[in-house]
Amino acid sequence: MGLNLKNPIIIASSGLTNSVEKIKDLEKAGAGAIVLKSIFEEQINNEVNNQINRVPQHKFPEEEDFTWNYTRNNLITSHLNLLSEAKKETEIPIIASISCMSASEWVVFAKDLENAGADALELNLFFVPIDPHKTSEEIEQLYLRIVSKVRKNVKIPVSVKIGFYFSNLIAMADRLTTSGADALVLFNRFYEPDINLEKLELTTSEVFSAPEDIRQSMRWIGLISSQIPNVQIAAGTGIQDGNSIIKQLLVGAQATQICSSVYINGAQVIAGMINDLTAFMKKWHFKKIDDFRGRLSYKNITNPAIYERAQFMKYYEGR
Ligand SMILES: Cc1cc2nc3c(=O)[nH]c(=O)nc-3n(C[C@H](O)[C@H](O)[C@H](O)COP(=O)(O)O)c2cc1C
């Protein structure tokens, strides 16, 4: 994306990056870059609707318009202030993040983030498809429309953070890139449901990832970085130590994003990760990350079938 990172560790968008103080601490702890807490289209819509419902006796439609604009502008202004303050107080790249649900006016908001000094913009895109009549092509088009609309509105680099629920992820990564994504973040981690059997209630499950969660992105980064020329990828989800960073770089990632490990262990995990990466490079006599980046990607290994194998056919034979 043209960003100059002192190391490949980016703090992922989350509550860890929602204040200037926290961002300064993360920079001090060694972070290579920061993605700000996303501004959510839903959050703005909900807040606006709450304000409108709090005053139900609107006499004129203009009053509702006023509440809408006022609330929306307030939320947007505080986000823009966070961004410009963070830019003033730190030296590492600050990446703004929008969580879009539609290719509507929020896309225009990207321009405001650029003007407030964002070094890049990350689009957090995920829609849970619940309409049985909607085709996968229609859903994919929504992603592509948002990306190309944002791309047209800003000059700064744009990355797209997605999940892995696509029929053909490689084709989707290619289409996102040709629609204007300068980089991909693979993958986001989503709220998932669980059930409380004591209360017979649906709840949300653990929000933090586990170290084994890197495998999903390792496979797809290995494949996508091989099949799509010049694609840039930040690996995300499950990265909790230096070894997982090394693995993601070996399959072809440009950088990595961390979140749960900082929530669980504090910002000092960053120094440990950098030490592990440095020790690994020393051991193998690598001078720079490009000396080993992608060395174990799909196109660079002698037995790439390991990436393609999805069934436990052989494993079960002897059991
Ligand atoms: C508490 C919490 C808040 C998050 N908020 C956001 C957000 O605002 N925008 C976003 O794109 N991702 C958000 N995420 C997802 C993280 O950025 C990250 O992609 C995910 O946690 C996977 O990385 P990890 O395994 O290192 O935690 C959040 C995650 C957590 C745990």
Q: Are strands 233-235 and 183-186 parallel, antiparallel or unpaired?
A: parallel
pLDDT at 315: 65
Q: How far is the CA of 317 from the centre of ligand 1 (A)?
A: 39
> pLDDT over 70 for what percent of the chain?
87
User: What are the φ/ψ torsions at residue 21 (nearest 5 degrees)?
Assistant: -60, -50
pLDDT confidence tier of residue 83, bands split at 50, 70 and 90: very high
pLDDT at 183: 98
Going through the chain in order, the beta strands assigned E by DSSP cover: 9-11, 33-35, 39-40, 94-100, 120-125, 158-162, 183-186, 193-196, 201-204, 233-235, 255-258
Q: With b meaning 16 or more CB within 10 Å and e meaning fewer, what string describes 186-206?
A: bbbbeeeeeeeeeeeeeeeee
Q: Measuring CA to CA, which residue among 39, 37, 26, 34 is closest to residue 3?
A: 34
What is the rounded average pLDDT for all residues in the chain? 91
Q: How far is the CA of 76 from the centre of ligand 1 (A)?
A: 20
Report whether 52 contacts 26 (CB < 8 A): no
Pocket of ligand 1 (CB under 6 A): 12-15, 37-38, 97, 99, 124, 161, 188-189, 207-209, 236-239, 258-261
Residue nearest to atom 27 of ligand 1 (CA): 260
> pLDDT over 90 for what percent of the chain?
75
Q: Which of 9, 10, 11, 13 to mutate to test the pocket of ligand 1 (most atoms within 8 A of CB)?
A: 13
Q: Residue 76 corresponds to which amino acid?
A: I
Q: In the predicted model, is pLDDT for residue 58 greater than 60?
A: no
User: Closest ligand 1 atom to the C-alpha of 237?
Assistant: 25
pLDDT tens digits for range 256-303: 999 999 999 999 999 999 999 999 999 999 999 999 999 999 999 999
pLDDT confidence tier of residue 78, bands split at 50, 70 and 90: confident
pLDDT at 127: 83
Q: In the predicted model, is pLDDT for residue 63 greater than 90?
A: no
**Residues contacting 164, CB < 8 A, separation 6+:** 186, 187, 216, 217, 220
pLDDT tens digits for range 99-151: 877 767 667 788 999 999 999 999 999 888 899 999 999 999 999 999 999 99
Q: How far is the CA of 16 from the centre of ligand 1 (A)?
A: 9
Q: How far is the CA of 210 from the centre of ligand 1 (A)?
A: 13
Place of tokens 């829609």: 127
pLDDT at 45: 66
- Cα–Cα distance, 290 to 293 (Å, whole number): 5
Q: Measuring CA to CA, which residue among 9, 36, 37, 5 is closest to residue 235?
A: 9
